[in-house]
Each structure stands twice: as structure tokens, then as C-alpha cells.
């Protein structure tokens, strides 16, 4: 019999694809029930035979095909499912499989291996041809890292850390394009200043202070003493003081306290011009205090001059009779009371004097161990600076200044110093960075300012005259200020780069850490070598002590801080992680050498801590505890058998005795409850007692 015509074969295929249009009793496709189509009579036998051959396949694919009837059906009426497929044995025999798992009925009867496609496909696609070798490699790797399992768990994290934000590393092309030029040879006119500050802005995750070190796994958890840096002390009975009357506003007393301010505070924070300050003092003494920003500035400088006076210190012009009979802190509080009442009025009228008031108020709070209030004042000063800058920008656009407005009147005794706008900008931002580095505080609004200066403009000092002490002090203050800002740039970049260091680095990660260390160490060496002779200092060797010169003391502290900060990741690596056996011996020796240097710099920072009152004392006391914890962490690591690095470290001689001796020298400072200093002292005693409570 001839095969069925092509049209009939297509109709049969349609029958298999559309079950609801299947063959009915006595009827063909598209025919009414009971009425056969003309072509059914001649090909009925062939149609039935063709249907029998497709019946089994139609049953297996029934659900899948049903879902493809009409793709326009609503989603609620469609259920996507897949019919059970036969095992490979039944598929090879082309017989029906009962799909029992894990072994179908036929394979169980004959003892054949029963394998389903969906079970074997992933293994076949992944391991076919390389399966035995892959399993062998995994077994060898497991044996290799048995002693260092924790380190290798961080391999995915290491890959992410090293692949993202490569511009934050100092050897990247983008970073090299931002490399800073000479500290004192740059005129501040560079156009990349805003880029530097915004790229090195510290955020909440960039802190590297005491709290971060206490989170190291080498220290027992939990720490028995909670350090609250924002705590306020309850006043002691002997020190309760509430100013009920205004302080003296005579010219001589104001001048005496202003001289103390100019000698102790302004060299590190040149936010007020000496000539302008003396003019303000003269106006207040003649006309009495009013509610202006000028009176607020005078009161703040007098308060800072009183609180910064050191035992036995005399003002450059001497102390007139009849004054300075009150304790310094009480006298300072009286002037602070005058200034505090005027801060709100000053903030209500944006201007550079308002920024000056807030900066001086922040310095006052730092002297009083109140970092949160200090940060609030510095942050408001930054916002006020931003507001004032915007207002001046639009005013200058609408009303261009005339030549007379642009002219500046120089002073005979004090020449024009740093531009006030630039000085306030860097003072606000630098102060916020100092606190954000130690505490988890938000970043500054000035980080996003398109500021065209990387350093302030140099002052017009003219010819240096060694006999003019005021001129020489102004020059040294300017040298210090530029070096301090450059150091702040470098510290921020170090913190940003070290943030990328993985917590458990492999050999590749350690090599990357060494590269970062070498680049920043070279930049730090350049910073030190470019210091001007009036503010230079000797590189510490052996035992050291605080320097008598305030500017050199502060800059040496910055130098030691950067040195220790560069070495700190290696101290952490040697004290908390067992370096894998895959790391080369030369790399291990290099890590041990840098970590040993870090321990020595920790001891240097402890020895360099001065008990003299200054606005950075709160930060230095916390650094004292931090460095002591690093030394005790390295000592504690020697008692942990699984760590293989502590035995390679070289510990400073008599470091514990040095800490105890320096702690006694600072005994008058550890009593402060403000800023959590007394809690820091408890943590220090706990660490020195080998983490036991006495």
C-alpha cells in the first residue's frame, strides 16, 4: 500500500501535538463527530498504524507539549513542568522506565547501573576528563593547608580586595599622577588640591585607632572595660566652678592671655592673625564686650591662653601685678562662659569670623578632653566655611570687587600671613580628619569642595631678620603648618591603602602589602628630608624623650605616627596569623623585620608622649594605650603554639618597664573621666597584667 499523502501526515502530526483535537470515534481531523472525512476511508489502516507508533512518545511528552499549546495563555493557567525521563539503561533499550529512584525496577531486576540524565549531566559537564586530576589536586591542597586553614579561607576576599579600587594603591598610574611635590617648594597654586583631599577623605570604615586594635583576635573577648570616648565627667567637689561674674576685660589682662594664646596655641592653629587679634582686644577693652563675633574671638583666645598656660610659664611681655591669681582652669572657664553665649550669634551671620569662632571652640573642647563636642564645632566650622564661600562667590559674581576692596593693608610688625580662607579650610578639614581617624565619625563636607589648592599660599615674610623674634616665629609657624598638612595628606593615603589589605593574606597578598609599604616609606622619607631647618628634628634612635620645642615635638610625633602606622599591618600579621608554609623564607624574614620595627616605633611613640597641656593630648593618650596594646599583643602571641611568626620578632628592650615609667609620668592625665581617658587607663592596666583582672 502506498504511503499516506503529505497532507495526511501533517494532519497526523497535528493530532499528536494537540490532544484536545485527537482522533474521535469514526471521525477525522476537523470533521464533525460521526461524519468521516473523504480521505479517511483510504488511509485508515495507515493512520492507525502511525498512531500506535507515536502513542508511547505522546504519553511521555504530554505535560510538556500541553504547556506549549498556546503561548498567549495567561500565566495562571500555565504550569511549567518536565516529565520524568527514563534512565540511560532504559533509554538505550528503548523501553519504558518506571522512573523509580535511585534505581528503577528493570535495573534492580537485572543488576544494571541505573543513571539518570539530570543526575549525571552536571558531573559529566564539569568533571569529564579532568575529574581524577581535579580530585587529586584538591586532596593535595587540603594536605598542604592543613596547618593554615584559616588563612586560605580569605582567598576569595583577597581577590576582591586586590581587584577593586586599584587607584588607591600608591603604585597605580592614577595614584602616581597625584604624587605630592615638595612640601616647602610648592606654592599652593596646584589644581589638584580638591582631588587629593576628596580622594583621601576618611569615612566611618577608615578608623585605625584604639577601638580597631582591640578588635584583633589576639586579645581576649569581651574586653572587660568599655571605653566611652564621649563620656562627661561628674565634677569633683574641689573643682566645681560656676562663673557668676564676667572676667576682667582690661587691656593688660586681655593682652596677657592673648600672648599665651599666641605662644601656645596659634603656632599649631594659625586661624587668627596676631595684628587683627590685637586690634579686636583694643576695641573690646575700650568699648566693652558686645555680642559681635570679634568679642567672641577675644573671649575664646583668652580662654585658650589661660587653659594652655604651663606651670611656671611667663608671657613674653611679663605678667603685670595684680593678675593671674585665679587657677588657670577657673579663669579659662570664665572667659569661655562669655564666648559660649556669643557663639550662637556668631553662627547666625555666616562669615570668616564665624568660622574662626567655631574653630577656636573646637580647640577649646579638645583641651577639655571632649572629642565629640570638638568634632561638632569643627564640623559646623566646615559647613560655615562652605556657606561663606558660596555667598562670597555669588556676591563677587554680582558685585565685582573694586581695586580698593582688593587692596590689603600690611602691618608694620606682622606682615601678611596665610590667606585666611585657605588657612581656615585646611584647619577645619585637618581637625576633622584627626578625630575621624581615631573615632567612627562621618566625613567632612569639605571633602567634596572643588578647592583649587593643595597647600595654603605662603605668606609674604620679606627678608628674614634674626633679631625679629615675632617674624621668626611667624616663619616657623608657617613651615610647621605646611608640613602638618602634607603629613595629613600622607596619613590619609596610608589609611586608604591599608584598608584594602585582606585580613588573612596569602603570599600574593603579603607581597602586595610589601609593595605598598615600600612606596609609602619612600614618600615618608621625602617628607622628612624636605622639612625646613627651623622645624627639623633628628630621627629617633635609642631612648627618646619629649622635645622642648612644641613645633618639633608635634612634627616628630607625626613622623613616628606614620612610621608606626606603616608597620602596623605587619605587627598584626605576625601577632594574629600563622603564615602559610607556601610563603617564601625571604618574605617571612621581611615581614618579621618590618613588624619588629613597628614594635620599636610603638615604644618611641610612648616615650614621646608629653604631659604638657595641648589640644592633642586626648589623642596622644589614646595612642599611648594603642601602642602599649600592640606590644602586649606581640608578647601574648609568643604563648600561642599555632603562630609561627612571634619567635622571629625582635622586641624592644625593657619595653614593659618603659611603659610603666611613662605611665607614672602621665599620672595626672589618667584621672580624667572626660573622653573615656580613665577607661583607657583601666584597659592599659588590664593589658599590662597579661589580660587578667587584679
pLDDT tens figures, 428-437? 999 999 998 8
- Cell match 583577597: residue? 158
DSSP 675: G
The residue from 448, 471, 504 where one domain ends is 448
Q: Is the pLDDT of residue 223 over 90?
A: no
Tell me, what's the pLDDT at 221?
87
DSSP 247: -
Same domain (yes/no): 267, 367? yes
C-alpha to C-alpha distance for 648 and 638, rounded to whole angstroms: 10
Neighbour-count burial for 472-505, b at 16+ CB within 10 Å, e otherwise: ebbbbbbbbbbbbbbbbbbbbbbbbbbebbbbbb
Length of the chain: 694
Same domain (yes/no): 248, 110? no
**Cell numbers of 335, please?**
572667659
HSE on the CB side for 208, CA within 13 Å? 25
**Cell numbers of 320, please?**
603685670
Which has the closest alpha carbon to 318: 274, 373, 255? 255
CA distances from 51 to 11, 14, 29 (A): 11, 11, 13
The pLDDT tens digits of the residues spanning 453-512 come to 777 776 665 555 656 777 788 888 889 999 999 999 999 899 888 887 777 788 888 999
The residue from 101, 116, 131 where one domain ends is 116
**Domain assignment present for 548:** no
Q: Is the dihedral of CA 408, 412, 418, 422 positive or negative?
A: negative
Report cis status (omega within 30 of 0) of the bond before 102. yes
Query: In percent, how much of the chain has pLDDT > 90?
Result: 41
**Domain assignment present for 660:** no
**Cell numbers of 293, please?**
563675633
Average pLDDT value for the chain: 76
**Domain assignment present for 52:** yes
Same domain (yes/no): 339, 392? yes
Tell me, what's the pLDDT at 206?
57
Tell me, what's the pLDDT at 287?
93
**Domain assignment present for 529:** no
Question: What ranges in 18-165 are assigned the alpha helix state H?
Answer: 40-60, 62-66, 88-93, 105-110, 117-127, 131-144, 149-152, 155-163
Mean pLDDT of 587-603: 95
Which has the closest alpha carbon to 625: 371, 441, 438? 438
DSSP 27: B
Q: Is the pLDDT of residue 232 over 80?
A: no
Same domain (yes/no): 21, 103? no
Mean pLDDT of 26-43: 42
Same domain (yes/no): 25, 97? no
What is the SS3 assignment for 24? strand
Q: Is the pLDDT of residue 156 over 90?
A: no
- Centre a 10 Å sphere on the Cβ of residue 304 and count the other Cβ atoms it contains: 28
Same domain (yes/no): 33, 103? no
**Domain assignment present for 535:** no
For the chain, the straight-line distance linking the first and the last C-alpha, in angstroms and rounded, comes to 108
Q: Which helix (H) or strand (E) holds 336?
A: helix 328-348
**Cell numbers of 607, please?**
616615650
DSSP 2: P
Same domain (yes/no): 394, 331? yes
The burial class, CB within 10 Å (0-12 / 13-18 / 19+), for 70 is: exposed
Same domain (yes/no): 389, 257? yes
Same domain (yes/no): 250, 311? yes
Domain of residue 16: give its range. 6-60
Same domain (yes/no): 421, 340? yes
Same domain (yes/no): 245, 97? no
**Domain assignment present for 82:** no
Which has the closest alpha carbon to 371: 444, 429, 433, 439? 439
Same domain (yes/no): 417, 268? yes
User: How many domains, in total, are found in the chain?
Assistant: 3
- Cell match 567612627: residue? 440
Give me the long-range contacts of 538-547 (CB less than 8 A, separation at least 24).
540/604, 540/608, 543/607, 543/658, 544/604, 544/607, 544/608, 545/607, 545/608, 546/608, 546/609, 546/610, 546/612, 547/608
Q: For residue 135, which phi and psi values (nearest 5 degrees)?
A: -65, -40
Amino acid at each position: 500500500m502506498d504511503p499516506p499523502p503529505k497532507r495526511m501526515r501533517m494532519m497526523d502530526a497535528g493530532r499528536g501535538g494537540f490532544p484536545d483535537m485527537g482522533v474521535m470515534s469514526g471521525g477525522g481531523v476537523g470533521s464533525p463527530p460521526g461524519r468521516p472525512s473523504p480521505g479517511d476511508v483510504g488511509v485508515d489502516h495507515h493512520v492507525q498504524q502511525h498512531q500506535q507508533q507515536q502513542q508511547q512518545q505522546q504519553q511521555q511528552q504530554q505535560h510538556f507539549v500541553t504547556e506549549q499549546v498556546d503561548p498567549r495563555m495567561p500565566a495562571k493557567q500555565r504550569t511549567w513542568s518536565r516529565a520524568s525521563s527514563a534512565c540511560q539503561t532504559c533509554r538505550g533499550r528503548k523501553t519504558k522506565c518506571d522512573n523509580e529512584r535511585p534505581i528503577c525496577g528493570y535495573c534492580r531486576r537485572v543488576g544494571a547501573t541505573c543513571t539518570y540524565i539530570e543526575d549525571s549531566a552536571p558531573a559529566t559537564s564539569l568533571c569529564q576528563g579532568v575529574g581524577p586530576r581535579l580530585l587529586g589536586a584538591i586532596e593535595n591542597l587540603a594536605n598542604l593547608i592543613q596547618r593554615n586553614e584559616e588563612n586560605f579561607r580569605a582567598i576569595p576576599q583577597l581577590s576582591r580586595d586586590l581587584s577593586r579600587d586599584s587607584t588607591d594603591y600608591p603604585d597605580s598610574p592614577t595614584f602616581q599622577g597625584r604624587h605630592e611635590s615638595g612640601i616647602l617648594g610648592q606654592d599652593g597654586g596646584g589644581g589638584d588640591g580638591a582631588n587629593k583631599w576628596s580622594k583621601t577623605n576618611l569615612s566611618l570604615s577608615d578608623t585605625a585607632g584604639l577601638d580597631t586594635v582591640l578588635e584583633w583576635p589576639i586579645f581576649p573577648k569581651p574586653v572587660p572595660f568599655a571605653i566611652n570616648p564621649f563620656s562627661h565627667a561628674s565634677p569633683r567637689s574641689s573643682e566645681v566652678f560656676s562663673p557668676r561674674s564676667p572676667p576682667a576685660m582690661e587691656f593688660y589682662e586681655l593682652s596677657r592671655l592673648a600672648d599665651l594664646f599666641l605662644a601656645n596655641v596659634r603656632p599649631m592653629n594659625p586661624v587668627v592673625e596676631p595684628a587683627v587679634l590685637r586690634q579686636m582686644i583694643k576695641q573690646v577693652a575700650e568699648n566693652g564686650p558686645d555680642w559681635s563675633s570679634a568679642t567672641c574671638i577675644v573671649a575664646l583666645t583668652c580662654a585658650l591662653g589661660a587653659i594652655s598656660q604651663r606651670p611656671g610659664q611667663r608671657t613674653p611681655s611679663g605678667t603685670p601685678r595684680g593678675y593671674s591669681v585665679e587657677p588657670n582652669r577657673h579663669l579659662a572657664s570664665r572667659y569661655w562662659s562669655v564666648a559660649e553665649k556669643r557663639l550662637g550669634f556668631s553662627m547666625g551671620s555666616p562669615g570668616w569670623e564665624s568660622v574662626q569662632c567655631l574653630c577656636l571652640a573646637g580647640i577649646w573642647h579638645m583641651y577639655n578632653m571632649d572629642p565629640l563636642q570638638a568634632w561638632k564645632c569643627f564640623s559646623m566650622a566646615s559647613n560655615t566655611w562652605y556657606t561663606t564661600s558660596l555667598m562670597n562667590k555669588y556676591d563677587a559674581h554680582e558685585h565685582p570687587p573694586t581695586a580698593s576692596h582688593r587692596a590689603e593693608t600690611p602691618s608694620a610688625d606682622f606682615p601678611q600671613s596665610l590667606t585666611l580662607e585657605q588657612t581656615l579650610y585646611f584647619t577645619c578639614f585637618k581637625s576633622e580628619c584627626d578625630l575621624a581617624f581615631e573615632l567612627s565619625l562621618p566625613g567632612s563636607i569639605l571633602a567634596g569642595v572643588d578647592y583649587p589648592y593643595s597647600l595654603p599660599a605662603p605668606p609674604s615674610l620679606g627678608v628674614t631678620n634674626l633679631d625679629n623674634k615675632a617674624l621668626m616665629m611667624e616663619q616657623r609657624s608657617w613651615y610647621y603648618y605646611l608640613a602638618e598638612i602634607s603629613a595629613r595628606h600622607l596619613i590619609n593615603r596610608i589609611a586608604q591603602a591599608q584598608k584594602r589589605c585582606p585580613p588573612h593574606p596569602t603570599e600574593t597578598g603579603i607581597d602586595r602589602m610589601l609593595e605598598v609599604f615600600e612606596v609609602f616609606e619612600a614618600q615618608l622619607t621625602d617628607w622628612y628630608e624636605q622639612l625646613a631647618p627651623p622645624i627639623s628634628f633628628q630621627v629617633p634612635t635609642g631612648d627618646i624623650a619629649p622635645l622642648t620645642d612644641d613645633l618639633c615635638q608635634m612634627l616628630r610625633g607625626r613622623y613616628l605616627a606614620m612610621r608606626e602606622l606603616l608597620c602596623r599591618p605587619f605587627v598584626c600579621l605576625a601577632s594574629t596569623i600563622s603564615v602559610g608554609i607556601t610563603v617564601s623564607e625571604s618574605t617571612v624574614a621581611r615581614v618579621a623585620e618590618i613588624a619588629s620595627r613597628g614594635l620599636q616605633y610603638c615604644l618611641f611613640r610612648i616615650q614621646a608622649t608629653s604631659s604638657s597641656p595641648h589640644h592633642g593630648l586626648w589623642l596622644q593618650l589614646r595612642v599611648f594605650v594603642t601602642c602599649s596594646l600592640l606590644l602586649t599583643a606581640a608578647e601574648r602571641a609568643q604563648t600561642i603554639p599555632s603562630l609561627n611568626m612571634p619567635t622571629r620578632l625582635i622586641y624592644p628592650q625593657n619595653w614593659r618597664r618603659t611603659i610603666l615609667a611613662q605611665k607614672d609620668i602621665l599620672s595626672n592625665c589618667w584621672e580624667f573621666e572626660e573622653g573615656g581617658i580613665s577607661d583607657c587607663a583601666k584597659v592599659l592596666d588590664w593589658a599590662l597584667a597579661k589580660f587578667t583582672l587584679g
